[in-house]
Structure 1
Amino acid sequence: MKNWQKTENGYGFLQEMPADRPMRVLQLTDMQTVDLTHIRNATRDRQIKGAYFKHGVYGMEERTYAHVRTLVRETQPDLILLTGDNVYGEFDDAGLMLRELIELMESFGIPWAPVFGNHDNESRMGVNWQCEQLKSAPHCLFVRGAVTGNSNYAVYLTKNGVPAFALAMLDSNGCHNVGNPAAPEEGVQPDNVDYDLLTHENGIYPDQVDFYRNAVRGLPNAVFLHIQIHAFYEALQRKYGYTQGTDVTTDREGDVGFYPEHMGEGGFTDPDHALFEAAKAADCRAVFAGHQHKVDSIVRWQGVTLGYGLKTGYCTYWRGGATGGTLHEISADGSMKSTHVYRI
């Protein structure tokens, strides 16, 4: 079920590609399910219910699970990727949401591979516990990795047992402390059992870039992570004349999507473009993220496709008409086609 082997590029999970068609890889992102029985204080109770449940409609996690079941049924994937904020850790202090997520994913009998986002590891259960739950799930392809973060590993798509395409799964870190001025009640508590195992500033760190280079060496590849890289911001500016606060339709030269959610440059990871430069030098086909729930842009920039996976489900915020998943069809010749699958 889990084929963890040493390859010429190091250890990774091997997944054989279909003989007669492209590999169908479904990306789900930012499900960010909430357990309303574990709200830490009255301030957060008012904030979360006022922001996301002001119309009195609850059960968003069940609607999200139904959303996922429909996506899997429609797309028939060979592999499912979860690109972070899979649960809203601050509201999962008992671990119920992660347990439910694992139960949901295991119900499909399909290999699935997650990375953490900036919210997953806020849970008082601790990142050690979370990692063990994922590693123990029979169909979950997950290891913590030995570099900065807690979800760095490779999945190799093979042809006749030989790696033909690499998926680099990277932790973009950024599980910030309670007391952040932008959201002072949100985040990981200083007394969290695994506080010292978290990297609180978002980023792709030098050892992660080195890991990426080694893991994909000589193979066409794609990167999946949670927080989008700065090269996307650069593409918006240079290709579309983007200025902060202006919505952009990304529709040139084969690009698709809409960018209506505005984030300052500091919100993007890889500001020095170390990962992006490594990707360009390493035959990278695409870098896909999540994080900005309202964005569904996929743009081509300097030879690499930079895209946002479609926000999955109805927990926290979303843009009407822009929820679902993103299907990546990957062929043994190294080609990769990415298409949003909208579920309104």
Structure 2
Amino acid sequence: MTRTSLLARTALGLVALVALACRGPSLQVKHDVPADLGVAAVVVYPVVLRWEAPAWRAVEVSQRLVDVALAEASAEALFFGPTEVRVYSPEADDAWAASDAVAVLAPYGVRPEGALVLRARAERRVQAGQREMLDSRGRSVGQSVNEAVVYLGTVEVLHPASRTVVLEVSGEAPADPFAVATDDGADPTPELTGLLETLTREALKGLSGTLKPPRAPSPPVATSVAWLPWETLELGPELAGRDVLDAEVLRQQRLRFANPGLEPALLDALARQPAGLYVREAPPGAKLAAGDQVLSLDGRPAPPQALARTRLAPLPVEARVRKASGQIVSLLLP
């Protein structure tokens, strides 16, 4: 084999990998939503990652799916995230018996038959192959190994009261071996994240007309927030085992993943702030203002969906807020 033909074969292999990486996710949808189904709440369970990963990784990926849901339908239903319910068996058929979600829904006046569970799972498949490398005289000079990583994801919408899967969206997305990281390593699996976001959007489209808010939503108290996820991700044990620089890098990465597109200057400032929600924009006359930080809601951590739920809550929610001036106040929202 000549050097030219060897280079040609290598180039073809690279082209094949690029084509695989650039192919968009192919989706399969199974739709069985009853025409008369009306639900007021959606509980997002932790993503099941079928490979070894830190516990906080599944939580933050799940939270990204909650963020997608809020962007699509925050005024149409109450959304609950993976750390707001205790899930004992994420893949059990009887989702209500496998969690305490029913008790979490009760204060909002949502009955078990009026809620759905959205749960996602993902696996990572590696396709590997070997080929012999030859020099210009056709002599063996070693072997090369090519690997192609493909992520498979499924988002399932379950109506636990009837133990029925009303919607299932699945797809796959290849990892791009030549992608240039633009987030300083915040997302170790960007192709998977993008795939699960796409599947979640598709699932919400399939639920069009099914989500019925329990009451008319009040005006939003904030239009843009940044989430500081320290409490929710429970990073304490892992941060304690790192030196100061490594701990700072981890905090920055998790903050960046939680807030894609956040400008670097604000990232640096927020990395040193306590957990909660930083208000970036608020409507004129709202109780919250840009620069405020919501530290807790009814004495509990304040993820984005908890603030969004104040618009649909049956009773006002007590918010502990640090104003831009540094003063800490209590407010009733909305």
**Whose strand fraction is larger, Structure 1's or Structure 2's?**
2
| Structures share fold, TM-score greater than 0.5 | no
**Whose helix fraction is larger, Structure 1's or Structure 2's?**
2
Given the two structures, how large is their TM-score scaled by the length of structure 1? 0.28
Q: Considering only CA atoms, is the larger Rg found in Structure 1 or Structure 2?
A: 2
